[in-house]
Structure formats: structure tokens, C-alpha cells
Amino acid sequence: MMEQTDLEIIKKKAENFESQYIKLKQEFKDYIEVTRRNEDKKRQEMKIDFAKKLLVVADSLERVSELNDASSSMESHCENTKQNIAIIYKQLISASGLTPIAPRATDKFDERLHKAVGLEYTSTYSENSVCRVIRKGYQIENSVVRPCEVIVSKHPEEARVVKPGLINRLFGWINNYRNKIGK
């Protein structure tokens, strides 16, 4: 009889654990579903917020496209258009949360923020500094979205270390060939 009672107690405990497991399993499924819905809702809210910010830019573009004042001079019209485009650019950058990366000439080259697309051999700028910006870069907070494309300065002495030009190499080959034939 004692064994029968122990067996029943074990069965009741097993049934209790199984029902707890089923309940926890369902709660976890519900949690995952609620989390997914919340993420979808948050993503949708972010899209709407971003779209609202871009609508400011769209409205500005629409105003610029509607400017057609025949009485104003062409020069003032061009200047007005340039100013409106500059405003739209600032609105677009602000709406997207971007910060431009635009180093000045003489700023030190930083491989995290800049991408060297060319070299300029000059003594005007210090070694490995930015000579010119080819295309602005952008970042959001501390993350670089696109590095700034720049021309980097090198001292003129290094230009002579670079391989000789095509004509010098050609004359070198001709001289080598002549020396081989002559010997």
C-alpha cells in the first residue's frame, strides 16, 4: 500500500509539472507574439515619423517648383533658387538625422571618417592632411554612413620615389636592349 500511495503522489507531481510546463509554454508563445506585434508597431511609428520629417522637404521642393515670377529678373530668380535649394538640403539632412563630415583643408586625414581617393604632392599642406574634399561624408551619431572622399597631401619628395613615368621606363628598356645587343 505504501508503494501505491508513493506512486500516486509521484503521478500527481508529474501531472502538476506537466500542467505548469504547458502553461509556461503558452505564456512564452504569447510573449513572443506580443513582442513581435510591439516591434512591428514601433517600426511603423518610426516610418511615419521619418515620413513626416521628409514631408517638410517635399513641401519645400514643391514651393521651389511653383516659383515662376515673370516680373523678377533672371539673376534674382537664380539666387532665390540657390537659397531655396540650400534650405532644402539642410531640411533633408536634419530630417534624416545625418551630420555632414566635411573636413577643412589642412585637417589631419582620419581613416575612420575619410576615404582617400587621390594624392596631391605638395608642400603647401602638412603630410597626410586633407587637401580637398571630393564628396561629403555623413554620420548618424557615432556611426559613419558614408566616409568623406578626400584628396590627401604627400610631400613632393615621395613623388620621386614612385615608379618613373612611361617615357622614362621606355627609354630604360631601349637602353637595356641596346646594351645587350652591343655586348
List pLDDT tens digits, range 2-15: 677 888 899 999 99
Q: In order along the chain (183 residues), what is the average pLDDT of each group of 10 residues? A: 81 93 96 95 86 75 66 74 85 85 91 93 89 90 90 75 64 72 62
CB 105, CB 130: distance < 8 Å: yes
Q: Cα(56)–Cα(96) distance, rounded to whole angstroms?
A: 11
Query: What pLDDT was estimated at residue 117?
Result: 94
Record the cell numbers describing residue 111, joined without a space.
Answer: 581613416
pTM of the model: 0.53
Give whole-number Cα distances, 92 to 22, 34, 47, 58, in Å: 52, 35, 15, 9
Query: What pLDDT was estimated at residue 41?
Result: 92
CATH (one of 2.30.22.10, 3.10.129.10, 2.60.40.1930, 3.40.1440.60) for 100-161: 2.30.22.10
Query: What pLDDT was estimated at residue 13?
Result: 92
- Mean of the per-residue pLDDT values for the chain? 83
One-letter amino acid identity for 175?
Answer: N
